[in-house]
Amino acid sequence: MDWIMTQPWPWWLSGILIGLTVPLLWFLTGKWFGVSTSLQQLGCTLTPNSNLEYLKSHDRQGNAWTLFFVIGMVLGGYLATRFLMPQPIEFLPSQFKTWQGAVVLLIGGVLVGFGARYAGGCTSGHAITGIANLNWPSLLATICFFIGGLAVTWGLGNYLFGTLLGIN
């Protein structure tokens, strides 16, 4: 029991459990797994009388569960890192606790959120649900996510975060 609570799970077990989340959610609720719809849901909730078609046409009641899903993920992650880890994990590294770091996080969050909605789903939605449904555009999107992630990790990211912003 100790390894379940205090040790990282093997990648293969975690992958299988994440993969089983998609059909389990579908069979139990008839809903598809994904997180980016919660951004649209949040917009609808905060601006119920909006004239924007993007927000007006959204099924506010039918997708309310997405906000609870995201809140549950954040709360679960927080509780796990605070109470199930031998040493709590710091959510924000020190370089992001400056105003430059806050700007980087804000810009990154806006770009990721916009990109997720523009692409018709977030990385988890495309990589897990889309590929599970044999959706070839999701496979292409996932390949592009990996290429972009590698490009930022091994080149552009060091330039942006290190050189331009002085974050090392």
Kindly list the domain boundaries of the chain, sorted by start residue. 1-91, 93-168
What is the rounded distance in angstroms from the CA atom of residue 68 to the CA atom of residue 160? 34
Confidence of residue 2 (pLDDT cuts 50, 70, 90): low
- Closest C-alpha among 18, 30, 38 to residue 124: 18
For residue 101, give every residue at least 6 positions away whose Cβ sits within 8 Å of its Cβ, in sequence order, or none: 92, 95, 165, 167
CA distance to 83, 119, 125, per residue, from 111 (Å) = 32, 12, 17
pLDDT exceeds 60 at position 122: yes
pLDDT exceeds 70 at position 163: no
pLDDT exceeds 70 at position 20: yes
CA distance to 14, 18, 29, 61, per residue, from 24 (Å) = 15, 10, 8, 21
Confidence of residue 75 (pLDDT cuts 50, 70, 90): very high
What is the rounded distance in angstroms from the CA atom of residue 15 to the CA atom of residue 131? 14
